[in-house]
Amino acid sequence: MKFVVRCATVPERAADLPTVYPLHKAYLDAFEPTADVVGIGTFEDPLTHGSMAIFATLDAARRFVAGDPFVTTGLVTPSEPVAWDA
């Protein structure tokens, strides 16, 4: 079982994404060596469709969302983690 989190971009804050991206990337890189993050990325039009992340465990999904700079600065709004039978 994997866990999926979808994030909606907050349109009024979209201009701030490039400024916060380096913090988000550093945060993501800290997770990847532990194999907690299975996949992560934006959809074709992130302003309209947002992004998605797949995590190995529910705990990893919750930990990632709790500290992700995109979330903590209010640039994206995450969904609750959803179990995915992949």
Does the pLDDT value for residue 8 go beyond 90? yes
Mean per-residue pLDDT over the chain, rounded: 94
Q: Is the pTM of this model over 0.85?
A: yes
Hey, what domains does the chain have and what are their CATH numbers?
2-84 (3.30.70.1060)
Q: Residue 26 and residue 49: Cα distance in Å, rounded? A: 23
Strand, coil or helix: what is 47? helix
Q: Where are the beta strands (DSSP E) in 1-86?
A: 2-9, 37-42, 51-55, 76-78, 82-84
Indicate if the pLDDT at residue 85 is higher than 90.
yes
